[in-house]
Structure 1
Amino acid sequence: MNLDDYIRLVEQECGGYTSQITTLATQLYHYKAQYDEPDGTTNNNAILASTSQGVLITGAPGTGKTYVAQRLAHHLNITYHFLDGTQVFHTDEGQSERYLSSIFQALAKQLPAVLVIDNVEVICPAFPPLPSALVQRVYTRFLALLDAPLRHDNLHVYSRLPFILATTSDPRAMASSLLRTGRLDTTVTLGLSCALDRLAVLRIVSRDLPLGEPTERETTLHNV
């Protein structure tokens, strides 16, 4: 599957965000491509450290951040895991940190892989106010996992991380330390759609509805 086909697949399910989907899909596609050998097999040890490791998707509640992230990961046809930041925390001491570590360790054995993190600001809140001791420990562990040591050989420097697709409805509530090279080095915003974008969404959600012939269907959608 080439990049154009990948973008088209995602757009067929997530209409209205053409430029944003193109940006996100391009980053993910190039991440996966670093693993592909010329013969079509997968090189599980060869992701260049210079490749982007993560993107932050922002936007108001209901703009489709989580859905877009999941469809991008799904259509890339590689391993992906969904993590809700609100479900990371456990009452037993150390369990939250071990849970985070176990996810990264499992994905590191299945590279290339994508980790979709919903509500990332819950894991990495902005300071102040000073969070609880538990939140501080989880925050520290998460950054340590993102900053995992690089592996070197004679030719390249390699990363051991999955690609991170993180979402937040309130970027001001998130620690700015996440937004840097090697962590989440790109931000994409899903905003309120224009009329043409809303029409694209309507075409997608209504494609299985009996709205008559193509011309009648378009007339109906334009009048909604």
Structure 2
Amino acid sequence: MSTESPLIQSMRTAVAAAPNDVPLRLHLAELLLGAGLSEAAVAEAAVALQHAPGDAGARTLMMRAMGLPAPAAEQPEPTPAPAPAPPTGFDWAAAENEVADAVPPRFVTSGPTSTAPEAPLAADGGGDPGETMAWEVDTPGTVTLADVGGMEEIKERLEAAFLAPMRNPELGRLYGKSLRGGLLMYGPPGCGKTFIARAVAGELGASFMSVSINDVLDMWMGNSERNMHEVFETARRQAPCVLFLDEVDALGAKRSRMQHGGMRNTVNQLLTELDGVGGANEGVFVLAATNVPWDVDIALRRPGRLDRTLLVLPPDAPAREAILRYHLRDRPIESVDLGKLVKVTEDLSGADLAHLCESASERALLDSSRTGVVRMIDMRDLLGAAKEIRPSTDPWFASARNVAMFANEGGMYDELLAYLKRKRKL
């Protein structure tokens, strides 16, 4: 009777860590079939078909393992039936305890850890002269600020300066507060400005509309201004709506630096739409994001337009833990000490943390390929990747430091100066 090779045993361990991974389970079944373990291959193929009833590869492998001829040609599949529920009599807790010595835990703790939610932070034409563009508007989403890991200071600022007045329209009318608002978020790239904008829309129960310069700019004279107008008209029709202007430094760059009249006219149109003469912007909440606020036209920050600013910094410790959990959730890992990993990733952006997890996966994959033994991602891979990654935010802070120190007009960069002093980057 054939016995299982070390490779098959390693694959079984990987499948146990990721039981819903159909391709991984089918690969195990192929190895079992090649080793002459037909019954075991049939069992693995059957489980794969439970997870993916319409998978042609799983059906073909099942027939091969059972000694039946494969179909000559695949016919169109009928609508797959829902996967059968797992047997109610199976004691999963007992099975987990039985293999506890063979399969290490996915996460280990080295002290108190945060209970932050598992969410990534992070969170971007030319046509014919008479063409009308369609703008995509997302319905009110379920993502709220509660899904943003950590960043409590940013949440408090948003609540006090932006969200609280919007949630209480009656109180706003009593004090003569218009149901409109403008907020400019700035900071280093990859720190979650877009995700925060979506969370604000969820908090308000509002539609969400994201616009960048590619959506507005047009080769035909006058079309860019018309597109800008149509963007705001769509948001007004969908009110309440959060209109997110991504990379607003491109949409609203300083006109004093422009020589092209067409782009100047587009910026002028944006200013006109933000004014919303006659209360046209009631229920339209404008959020803008930029990495270079010093390149935004000063008129955009006039009271009544984007008159409030919010600095979005690299994720703090609870946010880093949430981001790392999110990007490791579907990967085969063992004995990962998140507390230690959070400490060595200070100053990394959300995008940097995603890259760290990807690099650690590549390390384990290459090692498995070289040795022929599939293994899990562990702390060696994650810490090794962390040593090689330099914070992508450093160049941004190098540029922002000079602006904050020597061009802090009206105290706009006071919050940035305080952060730089706290981090001793001045």
RMSD, aligned α-carbons: 3.2
Corresponding position of 1:186: 308
1:17 aligns with 2:151: yes
Contact 1:73 1:114 in 2 (8 A): yes
- Which stretch of structure 1 is more off in the superposition, 162-171 or 108-117? 108-117
User: Does the alignment pair 1:28 with 2:163?
Assistant: yes
Describe the superposition over 1:107-143 as per-residue Cα deviations: whole angstroms up to 9, x where unpaired. 2123221101100111111243224111101001110
Q: Distance in 1 between matches of 2:153 and 2:313?
A: 12
Q: Which is strand-richer, 1 or 2?
A: 1
Q: How does 1:155-194 map to 2 (within 5 A)?
A: 159-160=281-282, 162-194=284-316
Q: Which runs of 5+ in 2 are unaligned?
A: 1-142, 342-426
SS at match of 1:115: strand
Asked whether the 8 Å contact 1:150–1:160 carries over to 2, the reply is no
Shift of 1:55: 0.4
User: Residues 176 and 161 (structure 1 numbering): CA distance in 2 closer, same or farther, change over 3 Å?
Assistant: farther
Q: Which runs of 5+ in 1 are unaligned?
A: 1-7, 37-44, 152-157
User: Are 1:114 and 1:163, in contact at CA under 8 Å, matched by a contact in 2?
Assistant: yes
Preserved contact between residue 57 and residue 65 of structure 1 (Cα < 8 Å):
yes
Identical counterparts, % of pairs: 27
Shift of 1:9: 3.6
CA contact (8 A) 1:125 1:175 kept: yes
After TM superposition, list the pairs within 5 Å mapping 1:17-166 onto structure 2: 17-26=151-160, 27-34=162-169, 49-50=177-178, 53-151=181-279, 159-160=281-282, 162-166=284-288
Aligned partner of 2:303: which letter?
T
Match of 1:221 in 2: 338
Change (3 A) 1:118 1:49: same
1: CA distance between counterparts of 2:177 and 2:266? 25
- CA distance in 1: counterparts of 2:327 and 2:307, whole angstroms: 32
Residue type matched to 2:295 in 1?
Answer: A
Larger Rg computed on CA atoms = 2
Residues of 1 paired with 2:310 and 2:272: CA distance? Answer: 24
CA distance in 2, matches of 1:196, 1:109: 38
Larger % of helix: which?
Answer: 2
**SS across alignment from 2:256:** coil
Q: Is the alpha carbon distance of 1:51 and 1:185 closer, same or farther for their aligned partners in structure 2, counting shifts above 3 Å?
A: farther
Q: Which amino acid in the other structure matches residue 183 of structure 1?
A: R
Amino acid at match of 1:16: G
Would the aligned equivalents of 2:254 and 2:298 in 1 still touch at CA under 8 Å? yes
Q: Normalising to structure 1: TM-score of the pair?
A: 0.74
> TM-score of the superposition, structure 2-length normalised?
0.41
- One-letter amino acid of the structure 2 residue matched with residue 150 of structure 1: G
